[in-house]
Structure 1
Amino acid sequence: MEFLQPENWVKPKGYANGVAAQGRMVFTGGLIGWDENETFPSGDFAEQVHQTFKNIVAVLAEAGAKPSDITRLTWYITDKKAYLSSLKEIGAAYRDCFGRHFPAMAVVQVSALMEDEAKVEIEATAVIEE
């Protein structure tokens, strides 16, 4: 895996501008902060993010992928203010599930998600290097 950073650009914090990788590609659907029984353990934004991260790790593991194989995360959030006010908790949850591996990321605010209780939905792409 190669992280792509133009020489004269400011280094990003918590994400990469680009990633190049070769190998078996693994894609998740949009995963949300519910548990294996499709029950939301919490309505708290940061706690839903943490559960979503755990769900990503579980789905990737089915393909033999690890968090360090993630090349891209695309987040869909319903509340930018809740996201920004939870950055410390989100950072701790991120490190708990993914360590200090920072792939390419995008965060997009949307008006709603398909599950009414969901506050975040994240798609992950991973590449298991050959």
Structure 2
Amino acid sequence: MEFVHASKACASVGPYSHAVKAGNTYYLSGQVPFHPVGGTIVGSNMAEQAAQTLANLNAVLEEAGLKITDIAKTTVFIENWDDFEAFNEVYANFMGDHRPARVCVEVSNIAGGCLIEMDAICVVE
């Protein structure tokens, strides 16, 4: 296994890596809308927080030498299902024509009071 630390993503807040490569599969840890330098939440609404979360996810992709089209599946946790439409719009713009499998669920408490957290599984063939 190989462990990936992305200097342009927010720092890990626990004993884990930004991503782990096992064979041709990468498991990306959950990303939240923390600013990569200050560690504070970026944005006060779902659209802003989703954009920062995806920017952090993209920083991990880049550090691992991956691209958006390598994403096979995402898991998304949102605090309020009423924010799904705003999240989905930002997500669609980020993914472009790429359509990985996805799980999206409402949860009651995300780290640091964030509105969103998202992880991904990537496959390089």
TM-score greater than 0.5 by the shorter chain = yes
Higher relative contact order (CA 8 A, sep 6+): 1
Question: In 1, distance between residues paired with 2:55 and 2:97?
Answer: 15
Contact 1:73 1:124 in 2 (8 A): yes
Gaps of 5+ in 1: 1-22
Determine the structure 2 residue equivalent to 1:120: 116
CA RMSD of aligned residues (A): 1.6
Return the offset for 1:82: 1.9
Question: Structure 2 counterpart of 1:60, which letter?
Answer: L
1:33 and 2:33 matched? yes
Question: In 2, distance between residues paired with 1:94 and 1:114?
Answer: 20
Determine the structure 2 residue equivalent to 1:106: 103
- Superposed counterparts of 1:22-61, under 5 Å: 24-37=24-37, 38-61=39-62
- Superposed counterparts of 1:57-76, under 5 Å: 57-76=58-77
SS in structure 2 of the partner of residue 29 of structure 1: strand
Identify if the C-alpha distance between structure 1 residues 96 and 64 changes in structure 2 by more than 3 Å, giving closer, same or farther. same
Return the offset for 1:115: 1.4
Question: In 1, distance between residues paired with 2:66 and 2:45?
Answer: 28
SS in structure 2 of the partner of residue 102 of structure 1: coil
Question: In 1, distance between residues paired with 2:83 and 2:48?
Answer: 12
Identify if the C-alpha distance between structure 1 residues 50 and 125 changes in structure 2 by more than 3 Å, giving closer, same or farther. same
Contact 1:57 1:97 in 2 (8 A): no
TM-score (norm 1): 0.71
Return the offset for 1:98: 2.5
Gaps of 5+ in 2: 1-22
Q: Which has the larger radius of gyration?
A: 1
SS in structure 1 of the partner of residue 54 of structure 2: helix
Q: Percent identity?
A: 31
Return the offset for 1:33: 1.1
Q: Which runs of 4+ in 1 moved over 4 A?
A: none
Contact 1:54 1:97 in 2 (8 A): no
Question: Structure 1 counterpart of 2:35, which letter?
Answer: D
